[in-house]
Amino acid sequence: MKTVLITGAARRGGAAIARRIHARGFRVILHCRSSSKAEAELLCQELCTQRADSALVWSHELNQDIPVPPDLNNIAGIVASASSYVDSSLDNFDTHIDADMQTHVMGHIRLIQHCKPALIQNNGSVVAITDIHVQRASSGYLTYQIAKGALASAVRALAVELAPQVRVNAVAPGPFEWPSSNTISAQRQAQILESTPMRRIGRFDELASAVEFLLLDATYTTGATLNVDGGRATFLE
């Protein structure tokens, strides 16, 4: 059975992507960090109830040395969804830059290195989750945006490097479902919605649909970035 590895698959957008890819008949590897392993195991149980032995949990920190993932030879796709969204500025740049680069860029590139032979053999595909703020920066998340920008650049470079056997694309999300530990004020939420032409936040099933398209169906598309943001990147000034 062909396998797709989804990083950051325990919750929110990563979990929605895992469910969508699993529904297409693939086995999914649910990567997670140790702090979210319990949630990943619940999702794994849910998916394996639907189809036996169709999901497994792989817990590893992306900012550490990356081992060879399980079920390596069957990997036909990678979704680089794992992320860390932490405030940073020039004043604490040195405190955050290494962790952000490891989590968003270096860990994923090393993972692709491990999987390269399988991806080539299986005519595979990679989709990275970047951010609309790569195109239009905002204040308060300096090292996160630098790292996501590097990931977006890596997508374009890897699309050339791995062609023609492997396609590499990106989805750049805008505002999506507010996190349960929401620290965004009501005023800021209203500002975000006001600057989003569709006047609402996105649903994670909409993010998953875009990833599914690029990963499995857009067979003549590589090196591209699809904004899934309700038009916000176009509208922002």
Q: Which residues of 191-229 are buried (b: 16+ CB within 10 A; e: fewer)?
A: ebeebbeeeebbebeebbebbbebbbebeeebeebbbbb
- 85 classed as catalytic: no
Is the distance from CB of 230 to CB of 191 less than 8 angstroms? no
Is the distance from CB of 181 to CB of 207 less than 8 angstroms? no
CA nearest 147: which of 161, 130, 135?
Answer: 130
Q: Which residues are known to be catalytic? A: 144
